[in-house]
Amino acid sequence: DANTHVVYRMADIRLMPHFSGSTRNSSDSDFNNDYPVSMETNQPELTDGLKRVKRQVRRGSRTVQSETKYIELLVVNDYDLMRRSAPQTRNFAKAVVNMADAIYKEQLNTRIVLVAMETWSVQNMVSVGDDPLMTLRDFMKYRKENIKEKSDAAHLLSGRTFQSTRSGTAYIEGICSPTRGGGVNEYGNVGPMAITLCQSLGQNLGMMWNKDRATAGDCRCPDPWLGCIMEDTGYYLPRKFSRCSIEEYVQFLQQGGGSCLFNKPNKLLDPPECGNGFVEHGEECDCGSQVDCSRAGGACCKKCTLTHDAMCSNGLCCNRCKCPHNVHKLDGYMCNTGMGRCYGGRCKTRDAQCLALWGHYAADRMCYEKLNTEGTERGNCGQDSSSHNWIQCNKQDVLCGFLLCTNITVKPRYGDLHGEITSLTIYHQNKYLDCRGGHAVLEDGTDLGYVEDGTPCGPNMMCLDHRCLPVNTFNLSSCPGSSFSHVCSDHGDCSVYDPIPDPQPPDGPEKYKGPSGTNIIIGSIAGAILLAAIVLGGTGWGFKNIRRGRSGGG
């Protein structure tokens, strides 16, 4: 069968020689001794945030690509992974994170910073079953209710394998969310488990897992032997992200996602160490390894001490300059010339959601009034969880129900189409209105075919759970002071500039513009969003049987 490929478990895959050098602190042998449950929180504070040092050059404009991003990662090791030795499990998990960090640092200019670790040494604190999706939901509930350490993402490293072709699963675009910023990863040696972590974190960052994309022209993976990290290609462990995966990540950042990635960590899990690339207590700078320092020029930082007159901010080494932190506007601000509302760092509009899911604009309000008051599959305000009956929208809530767009004729860009596409033509005020929608359902049952929370539904009104509510019921933070000219960020910073500009999305992917300097505003991007962080997908990669050759690929 030309569409069949063999999927190997990570435990069955041997690492290539170049991977083994990164496992010096880990072992796959049986563990010894018993240790109690531990949540490691003895995190040293970093000096003046996290700093990187490079050569002294003139600073240019900062882009989401040229600026270093930081994923503050919390790792939980389950009881199966711990086996009989908590310290050895700790070293194993650190080796996995370090290898993933090396890949992200080289290709995405993104650091994976281990800020906390929890090990279940007596029993699993949640049910870790055969289904990775159920395990993920239980794990994220546990994180929200029990883990107090702050992080951008929390990932479970399990000592078991799932009864699934997926080696793990994660919420797409879930980074920065306490309820969706996470994933679960099944057991393997250090190398395979690091690649699984790269995949699941990639999904948190907006990268899609799409086996069909491997044969799609420009998205074809350039390495047919190793394949690419987010693709069903290759015969062995992938080490690279494809161009399309990188563009998805950049687009996610450009359109307001991942605002927490631009905040420099102030704590690390391990004690301070000169040469790890992070400025910690007692250090003025840390350019990383000798190779990293030589690439950076080596003129600013020597033995983790700054040279005379040098000052380090995020990005390049400079004299007497320092950049402010990145921010996005508070929830509730108007955006897209008054057509949208800022919510979670993004500008929410029905047009933007229709464009992201279907590639066409939103339908006329009359379509919503006509269809969403029916309470049928083709127009509703959700489905009753117990009876599974379609819920009829109240008239004031019609713009918060089923998402209706125009000219939909193809399958959605995300998820699978369930049922038929809703199609209705209405003659209203001497013109024909095209009303179309569809249920784009993901593996976990999430239906993307509904208007997102935070979308405007009337003057000073926003959607929440398929209801159109006054903005003041959202308990949105207000800007300190009485002047209406003040515009505030999510950090509570006030700008006296009127107004903070709404960044416009570029025509295409950003080109690298070299060294960076000035601050960018993350979020409130006019008329552009990606799908909200409710999108969920599984990770895993197919390793084709070499005997079958390339024809065995998905």
- In sequence order, what are the beta bridge partners of 487? 495
As a whole number of angstroms, the longest Cα–Cα distance in the chain is 80
CA atoms within 13 A on the CB side of 143: 29
3-state secondary structure of 170: strand
Domain limits, CATH 4.10.70, in the chain: 271-324
What fold is seen in the domain 69-255? Collagenase (Catalytic Domain) (3.40.390)
- DSSP-assigned states of every residue in 303-371: TTEEPTT-EE-SSSEESS--PPPPB-BPTT-EETTTTEEEETTEEE-HHHHHHHHTSSPBPPHHHHHHH
pTM for the predicted model, two decimal places: 0.60
Q: What per-residue confidence (pLDDT) applies to 535?
A: 42
CATH class of 271-324: few secondary structures
Q: What per-residue confidence (pLDDT) applies to 162?
A: 83
β-pair type (346-348, 340-343):
antiparallel
Domain limits, CATH 3.40.390.10, in the chain: 69-255
- DSSP-assigned states of every residue in 197-210: HHHHHHHHTT----
Per-residue confidence in pLDDT tens, the chain, 554 aa: 444 333 334 433 333 322 223 333 333 333 333 334 455 655 545 544 444 433 333 344 567 888 889 999 999 999 999 875 677 899 999 999 999 999 999 999 999 999 999 999 899 999 998 888 899 999 999 999 999 999 999 999 999 888 766 678 898 889 998 888 999 998 888 999 999 999 999 999 989 876 555 445 567 777 777 888 987 665 678 888 988 899 999 999 988 888 899 887 878 888 777 877 777 777 878 877 777 777 766 667 777 887 766 665 334 455 445 555 666 777 888 898 889 998 888 899 999 999 989 989 999 999 999 999 999 999 999 999 888 899 999 999 999 999 999 988 788 888 888 998 999 999 999 999 999 999 998 765 678 899 999 999 999 999 999 999 998 887 666 665 545 555 666 555 665 544 444 444 444 443 333 333 333 333 433 333 344 443 444 444 433 333 333 333 33
Per the structure block, which two tokens stand in for 201? 């974190």
- In sequence order, what are the beta bridge partners of 28? none
By the 8 A CB rule, do 200 and 157 touch? no
